[in-house]
Every structure is written in C-alpha cells, then in structure tokens.
C-alpha cells in the first residue's frame, strides 16, 4: 500500500514539474559541467529528462530514508512534502544541476543509515554517493569529507563500519586527486567560479571607507581593531549562515526561486510543525548533533554570491522536510494520545494553510509568473550561472 | 540590607551610564533636527505661546504636519522642556533622552515586581542601558520611544490588576490608551493586545468581573476623542497612506498592478505573513536593522551580535521555564509586530520599540543560561579561554557600535536628517534685515534634486518666528502640486536662475543643483554649507 502511495506521490510531483515547466519554458539555468570532467577538459550535460527521472528517484530515496528514521506509518510524509512544494519542481523545470547533487547526497545518506544494518549495501551506496558527489562538484569535495569526519568524531557512526569503505574511497579518489595535482590552474579556476562569496568588492570598499572616516575623526586605531576586513568577512559569513537557516528563507518568497519567483520554496503552513520539530530535534542529543552537522550542507550556498542561493540550498531541503515531519508526528501523537486540543488545532491549521496556499500559488504561477520574469530579465531566458 | 544597597547602587550606576549614552552630544549627533522634530518643536512653541498650533487650531487633538498628522502627547510634553530651556535643539531632544533614561529604572522595577528575580532585573536594566536600539531613538525626538514607556507601564499594571486593587485597573487603562495618543503604531497594537490578552485571561476576569467592566469602560471613555479625531479630523490619514496594500514591492512585483480587487486578498495575506515573519531576519536583528549606515554595508542591528546566543538560549529558557504572565509576554511580542508589518515600508526598528522590553527580558534569561554554562565548564583554563574570547568579542562589537554612532551614522544619514538646513536658517536669522526677500529652494540631494525638504519650518524654528504672527498673517500657496509658500519676506519655491539671477537685494538659498555650475559671478556666492560627509548641502547666494 505504501508503494502505491509513493507511486501516486511521484505522479503528483511529476505533474507539478510539467505544469511549472510549461509555464516557465524556456527559462533555464546555464548548463554546468561535472567537476572531474572540467579538470580533464571534457564536458557532459545533464538533460532535463534525466533530471526529471532523478527527481523521481529522490522521492523514493526520501521514502526509504524516512522508513529508517521514522515509523512506517509516517514514512510517506517527507516524500509527500517534497512532492508538493514548489522548491524542487522549479529547480527541475529550470534544469538545476543541484537536483542531481541532491540525488547523490540522498544515496550517500541512505548508505550511511544502512551501514549498520546491512554493511555491504550501505558501503556500496556510501562509496558510490561520496565518489559520485566529489567527482561531480568541487563544493562537495570540500564538505563531504568534513561531514564524514565529524560524524565519526561526534560518534554518530562508528568507524568500525567505515574502515573498508574509507580504504576504497581513498583508492577511488586518487584519479581525481591526481588530476587536481596535474591541473592546478584549472582547479583554482573551478574553485574561483564556485566560490564567489567575496566576489563583490562592496565589503572591502566598506572597510576602506569606514577606516578612512574613522581615521579622520581620530579613531583610526579603533577602526583597525573592530572594522577590519577579517572581522567584516567573518560577520558576513555569519550573516549568510544564519540567513540560510532562518524560517523566512524556506517558508516565504524572501529569497526568490530562480531569482524572480514569488512562490515560496516550502509552504508557510509547514512553519508551525517545523518549529515544533526543531524544538524536539534540539531536545534530543543525537538529533541535535545530526542537525548541527547537517547545517554544513548550507556551505555551498554560503560560498555563493547572493546572500542565499536557493539553487544550492536544495541540498539542505531534506533536512528541513525531516524536521517538519518530526513536528507533524509530534503533533499527531500529542493529539492522539493526550487528546490535546492545541495539537489538533495546529494540525488543522497546517492542513488548511498548506491547502489554501497551494491553490493561491498555482493560480499565481499560471497568471503572473512568466510576466514577472519578463519584467526583471526581459527576453533573456538563461538564468545566472549555477 | 547590604544587598539592597548594592542593588540600588548598581541600578543608579546603570541608569547614569544609560543617561550619559543618551545625553552626550545630543544636539550634535544626529547631526540635525529632522523635519518631524522641527515641526513638532515649532508646534509645541506655538502652543506654549498662544495655545494654538502653527495653523491656528486651539489645543488640537491632532497636529497637522506636512502630509500627515502628528500625535498630541509628545508635542504637549515638549512644551515643558521649551518652557524651561527655550526653543532650541536641546529642548526638542531632551524629552526622549530623559524618558529613555527613565525607562531603565522603570524596567528594572517591572522585572523585579513581575519576575521577582534580582539578577534578571539588573541584567535587563543593563542591556536596556546599552541597547543601541533604545539609545538611537532616545537621541531623536521619536514618538514611539515615549509610547514604549507607556506600554511598559500599561502592560505591567495590566498584569497587576488581576491580583491588586482597582487602582491598577485604572492605571493600566490610562497608560495603554495614552499610548494611542502618543504614537501611530500603538493605535493598532493596543486594541489587538487588549482583545487577545482579555480572551486568554478570561478565566481570571470571571472572578473579577467588576475589574473587567472598569477596565473596558475606562478604555472606551479615554479613546473616544481619538476615534473622533481619526474619523473626522484627519488623524487617520497616515494609515491609509502607509497600508501594505500600497506597498511598491507588492504592487509592482507581486500583483504586477494596483491592488483593487478582493480576489487578490489571498496574495496580500501571504505577502503580509512574509513581512511579519521577516522580523526575525538576521539583517534586521543583528546587522543593519537600525539603518544607520549606507545600504549594503554592515551597520547595527536592533540587537548586538554578541546577544545572538543569548537570544537563542533565552527563547529556549522562556519556553521551558515557568514564568509569571507568560501568555501576556507572548501576546505582547506577537501583537507588537503587527502595526509595522501592515505598513508599506520595509521593517522599521522605531515602530517596534514597544516590544523592546520583552526582547531584552528574553535576552537576560539567555545571558544567565550562557554564563551558567560557562561556569559549569570543568577545566578552569577552558573556562577562562571561553570567557576571555567572549569578552574580546563583546568589546569588538561595542567598539564598532561606538564608531557607527560617532562616525559613520552622521556621514551616512546627514542628508535624511536635513543636515544644513539649520545653518541656512541661522544665516537667514542673522542677515534677513539686509534683504527685501529671501527665496529658499526646497529641493536637495547629493545625487541630484531628488529630495524635497521643508525649509520654512527651519526658518520658523530658528528665527523663533512669532507664532501668533505666523498663524494670522496671509500666506500664499500654489494651487497645484508645485511647492510654493510665501509669507512675510520669505518665499519657498524652486529657484530658476535664468529668471532669478538678476534680482538684487534678494537672498537665495538652495542646494548646488539650484544654481548654474559656473554661472555665479564673483562675490555672489556668500556661503557654502557642508554636511558631515563633506558634500555641499546648500549655497547661499545673492546676485550682484
């Protein structure tokens, strides 16, 4: 029965993608090459149809991961949420490379969760995921090893399950590391294109302007201590990190999908279960550590030029969805076991707001979304580089 | 007894420190009285001298200003400082600085009486004392700061009225309604707060029905004049101008047209919710919420960056801990955001001042947890390292705050404070007898003549123009939207140098845009007035 339900969810999601694609066609992202292929001077594009299929697989992976984290009854909630929210649909419709990276990431996570239950399958998936991720994106080269190390340090996974996998990983990574070594200029170029956090000279200009003004007033030393580029850069990184995690980023159109859309990444109705789920997550020591580690997935967005890059933030979307699911489960169990009126009220409110916003959003997409794009990007149908 | 003396001494020192931060160089920073301050100041002066506002209305409930109406309480209160110190910059800004300082001990008393925790009370008072949010609005004549004190008192007495005598009921109603006569934002906040607070505390009122009736009756009687003024005297003008449905982003970007149909109400609802939740953006809270620096640069938020972990811990502690009147604090915070969220501008820290006590209280809770956590670190060198690093972090942030206030803010925001107009008005005061006419161009702007100021108010203020004369003498205004005002020998209009350049015995004051770049003859340019950032604000010219 769950499989049938998953099939329906996939169908709904694909229909949503087709709808958005038809409305927004031919708006698309500029194509992005794989990291390893760029190093060796080759090229491979991911077609829209491939992304379409990969996104369907993402739904299945979300379901499989949920079965391991939550009870069977609730395992369809995360894929359902993923299916109906605009976030992934917009990115698939625009041909986002990060949908593919999300697929890789979910395989990695599924492998990690399986490694204690079924070492062989878990190891294969883990190795495949990490290799696939690192060969595909230089950003994942930076963050996946860090996440893996921290998982071991925080004892969220025992190293005894990973020994053989780590050895195979080192072996399989050697061609990539060799390519990086032989093509260092190319590697630096790739990183420069990926890491644009300080590409805007505004920050340095502000530092110079502030220090100049303070010096004129006789406070030069104070400005050098408290308004230098290191402090301002740190503050800017902190701002980006916090902004990546604030609810406005996920539940409102404060950050615009594809740079122009008014559709929210996730419907506002899910805010209440998100907050409840977040509170429950922080209360549990294991979930708290896992959540904190998972926030490293916003690093690709932090390294981008805009304050928040929703395209890169899709890697963090499953975390938000799982927290929302945790909140829904908490409300449901409170309502069921303790006949809690407040829990019932919040569940009903969530359902009502989400349904209402789906209708409003669909109507708005159909009537105004293309026109919004034209107002801001004219006839240039290619979005910024990913 | 000893601990009581220590607490009182500490409170006095905290209050004195807060007072110093609010009063020091108050007439120099912000660099000039802005248009609102000048308008309120001259109206207060006019009331003091004649009992009428600048337009001749006797003891008005609302004060007509340029484009909107001002609230009465701040203006009537200002008459006291003008009476004591004369009509000058200090007397205009005195009351906010004084009330801002007074709020520190009142907040301490509030926390002591309601929460009954001396440490939280002292911490709260300290954080309020150094709060950049509160200091900024204490140094300008800004109505919501006065209203925030009344809100604090009103809510405090509202909490007391359940268990105390009827006096608290009357006082609560008085201060809450007084707030509505003090600033625009509370006119929406107070009714919503009262309604929701009464609903949530209905059980308590069931056993105190007489207090409930007294409260509602008192509120109703006190608010009737305001309702009359809003409906019939134009005090509601501002609300229609600033509603979120008129928001430029909403019309141009979301709707792609004007809001004129109820079918678009759902979009408006979600737009409003987006704005409402937007108050927890880190830019507003920690990086640029006070809007004291140029856009896009790192300035000051409504809270300091070092208060971030305290805020997070404070929220968790607030949820976990048993706190008296917790529901009222939550209602206060959530309804307090509503007035600013339904306006058509981005988040404005000044319109949120009435929730500042709740925020500071939560931060105080969090700070205690934070320092308890440090105290519980077993290894002493780790404890010292963490404490030392955090102390350095606090000093760096406070240093940046000081530089923002002292250096960057006057340079970045001088233009929005109409910097230069005071000097121009003082020149008029000192030289007006030498000329048969004085023509003042209201256009200004560093980038171009994109801003319009109201120089006539500055002339009235700094020349201490007799209010009775101004009320009664004939004035000429334009019949259309062109800016034109003439009274006495003053004319406020756009300068057209092609026509005006030959007029002798006339003093012209305008921004550099008002005059030809190289078209002034030698000796015609009498004075250049500069802003703090070095840009010229005004030229004073007389043709030869």
Percent of chain B, pLDDT > 70?
Answer: 98
> Which residues make beta-bridge pairs with A382?
A28
C-beta atoms of A254 and B399 within 8 A: no
Q: Is A193 in the B-facing interface, judged by CB distances under 8 Å?
A: no
Question: Average model confidence (pLDDT) for chain B?
Answer: 91
Interval A143-167: pLDDT, tens: 998 998 998 898 888 887 788 888 8
What's the confidence (pLDDT) of residue B54? 92
- What are the chain B neighbours of A235 within 8 Å (beta carbons)? 287, 298, 305
Smallest Cβ–Cβ distance between A246 and the set B281, B287, B406 belongs to B281
Tell me how far apart the alpha carbons of residues A268 and A69 are, in angstroms, rounded to a whole number: 24
- The whole-number average pLDDT for the span A14-19 is 94
Interface test with A, best of B300, B316, B399 (most A CBs within 10 A): B399
- The whole-number average pLDDT for the span B174-184 is 94
- What are the chain A neighbours of B399 within 8 Å (beta carbons)? 222, 225-226
**pLDDT of residue B295 exceeding 90:** no
Q: Is A146 in the B-facing interface, judged by CB distances under 8 Å?
A: no
What's the confidence (pLDDT) of residue B109? 96
**pLDDT of residue B240 exceeding 80:** no
What's the confidence (pLDDT) of residue B249? 85
Q: Is A262 in the B-facing interface, judged by CB distances under 8 Å?
A: yes
Tell me how far apart the alpha carbons of residues A44 and A38 are, in angstroms, rounded to a whole number: 9
C-beta atoms of B281 and A232 within 8 A: no
Q: What are B163's two structure tokens?
A: 């268990």
Interval A231-272: pLDDT, tens: 999 999 999 999 999 999 999 999 999 988 999 999 999 999
Higher pLDDT, B86 or B162: B86
- What are the chain A neighbours of B273 within 8 Å (beta carbons)? 252, 268
C-beta atoms of A375 and B403 within 8 A: no
> Which residues make beta-bridge pairs with B529?
B538
Tell me how far apart the alpha carbons of residues A21 and A28 are, in angstroms, rounded to a whole number: 9
Smallest Cβ–Cβ distance between A222 and the set B308, B399, B411 belongs to B399
C-beta atoms of A248 and B319 within 8 A: no
What's the confidence (pLDDT) of residue B489? 93
Residues 6+ apart with CB under 8 A from A369: A23, A24, A261, A262, A263
CA distance A305 to chain B (A): 14
What's the confidence (pLDDT) of residue B217? 93
> Which residues of B make CB contacts under 8 Å with A?
252-256, 266-267, 270, 273-274, 277-278, 280-283, 286-287, 294, 296-298, 305, 308, 316, 319, 396-397, 399-400, 402-403, 406-408, 411
**pLDDT of residue B353 exceeding 70:** yes
Q: Is B67 helix (H, G, I), strand (E, B) or coil?
A: coil
User: Quick one: closest CA in B to A218, which residue?
Assistant: B407
Interval B117-133: pLDDT, tens: 999 999 999 999 999 99
What's the confidence (pLDDT) of residue A339? 65
What's the confidence (pLDDT) of residue B294? 84
Smallest Cβ–Cβ distance between A371 and the set B256, B274, B296 belongs to B256
Q: Picking from A7-21, A114-128, A294-308, B9-23, which range would have the lowest pLDDT averaged per residue?
A: A114-128
C-beta atoms of A202 and B270 within 8 A: no
C-beta atoms of A225 and B399 within 8 A: yes
Residue B206 CA neighbour count, 13 Å, CB half: 5
Task: Determine how β-strand B490-493 pairs with β-strand B437-440.
Answer: parallel
Percent of chain A, pLDDT > 90?
Answer: 64
**pLDDT of residue B1 exceeding 80:** no
Smallest Cβ–Cβ distance between A213 and the set B270, B319, B411 belongs to B411
Under the banding of pLDDT at 50, 70 and 90, the label for residue B236 is low
Q: Is A274 in the B-facing interface, judged by CB distances under 8 Å?
A: no
State chain B's maximal CA–CA distance in angstroms. 83
C-beta atoms of B270 and A268 within 8 A: yes
CA distance B23 to chain A (A): 20
User: Could you tell me the CA-to-CA distances from A346 to A88, A243, A330 in Å, in that order?
Assistant: 26, 26, 11
State chain A's maximal CA–CA distance in angstroms. 74
C-beta atoms of A217 and B273 within 8 A: no
What's the confidence (pLDDT) of residue B237? 59
CA distance A279 to chain B (A): 8
User: Quick one: closest CA in B to A227, which residue?
Assistant: B400
**pLDDT of residue B145 exceeding 80:** yes
Q: Is A213 in the B-facing interface, judged by CB distances under 8 Å?
A: yes
Q: A297-314: buried (b, 16+ CB within 10 Å) or exposed (e) per residue? A: bbbbbbbbebbbbbbbbb
Q: Is A235 in the B-facing interface, judged by CB distances under 8 Å?
A: yes
Q: Look up the ipTM and state it.
A: 0.90
**pLDDT of residue B241 exceeding 70:** no
CA distance B376 to chain A (A): 18
Under the banding of pLDDT at 50, 70 and 90, the label for residue B239 is low
Higher pLDDT, A336 or B283: B283
Interval A97-137: pLDDT, tens: 999 999 999 999 999 988 877 678 888 999 999 999 999 99
**pLDDT of residue B488 exceeding 70:** yes
What's the confidence (pLDDT) of residue B68? 77
Percent of chain A, pLDDT > 70?
Answer: 99
What's the confidence (pLDDT) of residue B448? 80
What's the confidence (pLDDT) of residue A118? 67
Interval B16-67: pLDDT, tens: 999 999 999 999 999 999 999 999 999 999 999 999 999 999 999 889 887 7
* Burial of residue A379 (number of CB atoms within 10 Å: 0-12, 13-18, 19+): exposed
Smallest Cβ–Cβ distance between A226 and the set B283, B287, B399 belongs to B399
User: Quick one: closest CA in A to B309, which residue?
Assistant: A242
Dihedral angle sign, alpha carbons of residues A203, A208, A214, A219: positive
**pLDDT of residue B204 exceeding 70:** yes
Interval A201-230: pLDDT, tens: 888 888 999 999 999 999 999 999 999 999
- What are the chain A neighbours of B266 within 8 Å (beta carbons)? 356, 360
Smallest Cβ–Cβ distance between B277 and the set A242, A243, A251 belongs to A251
3-class DSSP string for B111-165: HHHHCCCHHHHHHHHHHHHHCHHHHHHHCCCCHHHHHHHHHHHHHHHHHHCCCCC
Q: Among B79, B62, B59, which residue's Cα sits nearest to residue B70?
A: B62
Q: Is B528 helix (H, G, I), strand (E, B) or coil?
A: strand
Q: Is A292 in the B-facing interface, judged by CB distances under 8 Å?
A: no
**pLDDT of residue B238 exceeding 70:** no
Q: Is A282 in the B-facing interface, judged by CB distances under 8 Å?
A: yes
Interval A308-342: pLDDT, tens: 999 999 999 999 999 999 999 999 988 887 667 88
What's the confidence (pLDDT) of residue B413? 92
């Amino acid at each position: 029965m769950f499989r049938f339900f998953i099939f329906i969810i996939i169908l709904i999601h694909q229909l949503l993608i087709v709808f958005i694609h038809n409305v927004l066609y031919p708006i698309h992202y500029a194509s992005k090459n794989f990291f390893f292929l760029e190093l060796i001077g080759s090229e491979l594009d991911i077609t829209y149809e491939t992304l379409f299929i990969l996104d369907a697989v993402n739904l299945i992976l979300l379901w499989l991961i949920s079965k391991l984290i939550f009870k069977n009854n609730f395992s369809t909630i995360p894929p359902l949420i993923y299916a109906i929210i605009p976030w992934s649909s917009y990115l698939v419709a625009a041909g986002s490379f990060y949908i593919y990276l999300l697929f890789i990431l979910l395989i990695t996570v599924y492998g990690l969760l399986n490694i204690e239950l079924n070492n062989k399958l878990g190891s294969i998936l883990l190795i495949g995921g990490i290799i696939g991720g690192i060969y595909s994106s230089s950003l994942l080269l930076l963050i996946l090893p860090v996440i893996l190390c921290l998982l071991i340090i925080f004892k969220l996974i025992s190293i005894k399950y990973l020994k053989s996998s780590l050895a195979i990983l080192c072996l399989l990574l050697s061609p990539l590391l060799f390519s990086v070594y032989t093509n260092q200029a190319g590697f630096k170029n790739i990183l420069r294109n990926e890491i644009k956090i300080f590409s805007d000279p505004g920050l340095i200009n502000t530092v110079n302007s502030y220090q100049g003004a303070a010096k004129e007033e006789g406070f030069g030393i104070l400005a050098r201590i408290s308004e230098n580029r290191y402090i301002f850069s740190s503050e800017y990184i902190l701002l980006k990190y916090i902004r990546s995690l604030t609810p406005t980023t996920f539940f409102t159109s404060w950050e615009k999908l594809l740079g122009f859309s008014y559709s929210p990444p996730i419907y506002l109705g899910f805010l209440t279960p998100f907050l409840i789920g977040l509170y429950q997550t922080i209360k549990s020591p294991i979930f708290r550590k896992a959540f904190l580690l998972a926030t490293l997935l916003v690093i690709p967005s932090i390294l981008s030029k805009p304050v928040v890059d929703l395209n890169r933030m899709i890697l963090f979307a499953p975390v938000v969805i799982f927290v929302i699911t945790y909140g829904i489960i908490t409300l449901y169990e409170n309502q069921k076991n303790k006949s809690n009126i407040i829990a019932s009220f919040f569940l009903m409110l969530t359902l009502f707001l989400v349904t209402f916003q789906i209708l409003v959003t669909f109507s708005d997409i159909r009537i105004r979304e293309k026109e919004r794009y034209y107002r801001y990007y004219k006839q240039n149908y290619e979005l910024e580089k990913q | 007894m000893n601990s009581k003396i220590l607490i009182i001494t500490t409170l006095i020192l905290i209050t004195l420190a807060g007072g110093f931060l609010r009063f020091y160089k108050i007439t120099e920073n912000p660099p000039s009285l802005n248009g609102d301050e000048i308008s309120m100041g001259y109206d207060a002066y006019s009331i003091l001298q004649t009992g009428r506002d600048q337009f001749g209305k006797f003891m008005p409930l609302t004060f007509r200003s340029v484009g909107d109406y001002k609230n009465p309480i701040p203006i009537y209160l200002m008459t006291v400082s003008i009476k004591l110190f004369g009509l000058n910059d200090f007397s205009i800004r005195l009351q906010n600085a004084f009330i801002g300082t007074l709020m520190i001990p009142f907040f301490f008393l509030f926390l002591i009486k309601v929460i009954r925790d001396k440490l939280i009370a002292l911490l709260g008072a300290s954080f309020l004392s150094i709060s950049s949010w509160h200091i900024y609005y204490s140094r300008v004549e800004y109505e919501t700061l006065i209203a925030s004190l009344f809100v604090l008192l009103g809510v405090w007495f509202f909490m007391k009225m359940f268990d105390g005598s009827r006096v608290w009921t009357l006082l609560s109603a008085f201060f809450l309604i007084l707030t509505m006569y003090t600033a625009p934002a509370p006119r929406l906040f107070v009714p919503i707060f009262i309604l929701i607070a009464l609903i949530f505390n209905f059980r308590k009122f069931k056993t105190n029905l007489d207090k409930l009736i007294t409260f509602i009756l008192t509120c109703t009687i006190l608010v009737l004049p305001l309702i009359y003024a809003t409906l019939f005297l134009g005090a509601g003008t501002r609300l229609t101008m600033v509603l979120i449905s008129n928001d430029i982003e909403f019309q141009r970007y979301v709707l792609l047209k004007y809001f004129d149909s109820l079918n678009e109400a759902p979009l408006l609802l979600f737009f409003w919710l987006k704005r409402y939740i937007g108050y927890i953006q880190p830019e507003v809270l920690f990086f640029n919420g006070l809007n004291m620096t140029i856009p896009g640069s790192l300035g000051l938020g409504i809270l300091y960056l070092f208060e971030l972990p305290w805020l997070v811990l404070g929220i968790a502690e607030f949820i976990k801990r048993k706190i008296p009147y917790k529901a009222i604090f939550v209602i206060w915070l959530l309804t307090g955001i509503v007035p600013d969220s339904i306006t058509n501008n981005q988040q404005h820290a000044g319109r949120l001042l009435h929730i500042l006590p709740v925020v500071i209280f939560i931060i105080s809770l969090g700070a205690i947890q934070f320092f308890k956590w440090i105290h519980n670190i077993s290894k002493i060198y780790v404890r010292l390292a963490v404490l030392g690093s955090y102390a350095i972090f606090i000093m760096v942030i406070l240093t940046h705050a000081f530089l923002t206030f002292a250096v960057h803010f006057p340079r970045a925001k001088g233009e929005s404070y109409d910097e230069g107009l005071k000097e121009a008005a003082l020149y008029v005061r000192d030289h007006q007898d030498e000329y048969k006419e004085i023509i003042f161009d209201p256009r200004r702007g560093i980038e171009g003549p994109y801003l319009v100021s109201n120089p006539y108010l500055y002339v009235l203020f700094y020349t201490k123009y007799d209010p009775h004369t101004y009320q009664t003498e004939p004035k000429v205004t334009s019949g259309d939207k062109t800016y034109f005002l003439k009274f006495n020998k003053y004319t406020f209009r756009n300068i057209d140098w092609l026509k005006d350049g030959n007029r002798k015995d006339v003093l012209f004051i305008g921004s550099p845009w008002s005059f030809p770049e190289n078209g002034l003859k030698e000796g015609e340019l009498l004075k250049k007035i500069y802003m703090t950032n070095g840009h010229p604000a005004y030229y004073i010219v007389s043709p030869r």
